[in-house]
Structure 1
Amino acid sequence: MKIRGCRVSAPLMQLWGECCRIVEWIDRSGEYSCIAVRGDATVAEIRECVRLHRSGQRHTLTDDPATPAGRVRLRRA
């Protein structure tokens, strides 16, 4: 799977004591997706979760050359 950009949040502590991270990415077709993973997930586990992600809402970002921003990009954290 080829992606345009990916961002992983810092660990977020939940009220019940567990920790998670939010993973967001944009694929080559401009589709934005996000998932939550365990806070201690390894790079390989995160990569596998992104590769297997199929369900949920889908949002398509378009590259419109007429807009000043040009390509849609994820902000750096």
Structure 2
Amino acid sequence: MQPWGECCRIVEWINRNGEYSCVAVPGAATAAEIRERVRMHRNGQRHTLEDDPATPAGRGRLRRG
């Protein structure tokens, strides 16, 4: 173990709906463990840009630039 804590990997993917997702897994995780973690992933709060006219009202919005 390093003095600053354990290492991790960020796993990113695009789902079938074209949405971006990511999850942190332990650095020593096996391919099977990563697959299981991705399979069990549930989308949380979503953030979108506030000046996108296609964005439905009620979603969290981020300001551009």
TM-score between the two structures when normalised by the length of structure 2: 0.61
Distance 1:18 1:54, change over 3 A: same
What value does the CA root-mean-square deviation take over the aligned residues?
2.2
Percent same amino acid among aligned pairs? Answer: 79
Instruction: Pick the structure with greater CA Rg.
Output: 2
User: How many aligned positions are there?
Assistant: 47
Contact 1:23 1:36 in 2 (8 A): yes
Distance 1:59 1:49, change over 3 A: farther
List alignment gaps of at least 5 residues for structure 2: 49-65
The CA deviation at 1:44 is 0.4
Select 1:48's aligned residue among 26, 31, 36. Answer: 36
TM-score between the two structures when normalised by the length of structure 1: 0.52
Query: Could you give the per-residue CA deviations for residues 2-52 of structure 1, whole angstroms, max 9, x where no partner exists?
Result: xxxxxxxxxxxx762311000000011101100100000000000000000
